[in-house]
Structure 1
């Protein structure tokens, strides 16, 4: 495997444009489609909204009794949805900070929420996949899976993916049966489709990443990870695919016929388990954060380190601004930072 061999700090540094402080561990961060509002989900059940310009807190509510576990903006930015360990989904009006709808999603906490381009909200709760409108009206409830659902993602063609123990299922809204199933003998923990829909990836508890091609019958796997593979990220053009399992980040070239038979870039840049991994939405820059309190920024196109930021708390969440000009980091103590490279300031 090729990649970074040392741990020397690069010259460029990430500069905080502002720092905000939430009340608890940051579970999730999500920018509005316009990039003017930053939503935050925290471990104490809070949902908060911050201004991009100065990090000012616009509103915060104790929304979910046992922790906020899911966060998603509608494609037009009109609604912010949140879900929690209390089994509830809440739709927020961003300007006023008032809930416009609230309902019970199912049995078990809300694992993930995702809006389709058409404005349909999908949720996974325990073994249940359901589709809703913004008022909380149930559009479709699918037959419960055989095990707890772990991944949820809309595809470019309006279909939907879910993962659970043993398989990834491909659904079409309005149809009761899956279009197809991709089987795997193990526990699937993470799910990510390439932006063009050509590849479906899932990371497993057994330290293996499985890839399925859109064309039927073609698949490949990457093994040898030192820990469960919980973090997956695709570059904006679908050419590169990053995985995080344990302390190591690997970046695979998925252009052409795919990664099978190729060697990834191996980046041993963290000293503890990776907790967040994300490609920029406009470039091949990728950010990773870990329990070692380090945030690492890497240019995967040119295979060079850009910056390392070392703090006193573990990185718990990462989120790129929609235009790719800022990187937002959340920390275990509730700190939120809006960051930019010093050379780009």
Structure 2
């Protein structure tokens, strides 16, 4: 790696390893292969990496939080084509954490703006929840995916449950 590593995470199936670097790049290795894919073009510090635990085509999705944007990466079928990416922008301040709902492509993100956002299929904003005035610092999905906890920067803890009457979490 050309710069210090700031984050590292294995995909849930153990096939891929992603690492973020201080030079604003992400490297992804497939297990037992020496040469990584190099993702670049990030506008600032990469704060979080998260893999989906189900595949979308060939491999799990990789979500990367950088400033107010999430970049989602999907592996192409042909290794030479690498990874396709798209951006998700709706957070109004720095994204502090993100994660996929277990056994789903629903992506949750929280930020310093005090908002919790849910992204359907890691593509479309499906729910925006206002939470805390000083911003969020972390989020965690329950292992069954029916609850979502978000921690505030002033010590708050919000626990949201999946709504069966309506749509989403509340």
Q: Which TM bucket (shorter chain)?
A: 0.7 to 0.9
Contiguous gaps of at least 5 residues in structure 2: none
Separation in 2 of the partners of 1:255 and 1:326?
A: 32
1:216 aligns with 2:21: no
What does residue 20 of structure 2 align with? 203
What does residue 293 of structure 1 align with? 114
Separation in 2 of the partners of 1:309 and 1:297?
A: 9
What does residue 191 of structure 1 align with? 8
Give the 3-state SS of the residue equivalent to 1:272 in structure 2: coil
Contact 2:76 2:84 in 1 (8 A): no
What does residue 307 of structure 1 align with? 127
Contact 2:76 2:83 in 1 (8 A): no
Contiguous gaps of at least 5 residues in structure 1: 1-183
**CA RMSD of the aligned region, Å?**
2.0
Q: What is the CA-CA distance between 1:221 and the residue it aligns to?
A: 0.9
Contact 2:75 2:82 in 1 (8 A): no
Separation in 2 of the partners of 1:283 and 1:258?
A: 25
Q: What is the CA-CA distance between 1:203 and the residue it aligns to?
A: 0.6
4+ aligned runs moved over 6 Å, structure 1? none
Q: What is the CA-CA distance between 1:245 and the residue it aligns to?
A: 1.3
The structure-2 alpha-carbon separation of the partners of 1:260 and 1:198, relative to structure 1 and needing over 3 Å to count, comes to: farther
The structure-2 alpha-carbon separation of the partners of 1:202 and 1:250, relative to structure 1 and needing over 3 Å to count, comes to: same
Contact 1:252 1:259 in 2 (8 A): no
Separation in 2 of the partners of 1:195 and 1:260?
A: 23
The structure-2 alpha-carbon separation of the partners of 1:250 and 1:259, relative to structure 1 and needing over 3 Å to count, comes to: farther
The structure-2 alpha-carbon separation of the partners of 1:268 and 1:206, relative to structure 1 and needing over 3 Å to count, comes to: same
TM-score, normalised with respect to structure 2: 0.86
Separation in 2 of the partners of 1:254 and 1:264?
A: 9
Contact 2:148 2:161 in 1 (8 A): yes
TM-score, normalised with respect to structure 1: 0.44
Separation in 2 of the partners of 1:259 and 1:247?
A: 30
Number of aligned residues: 161
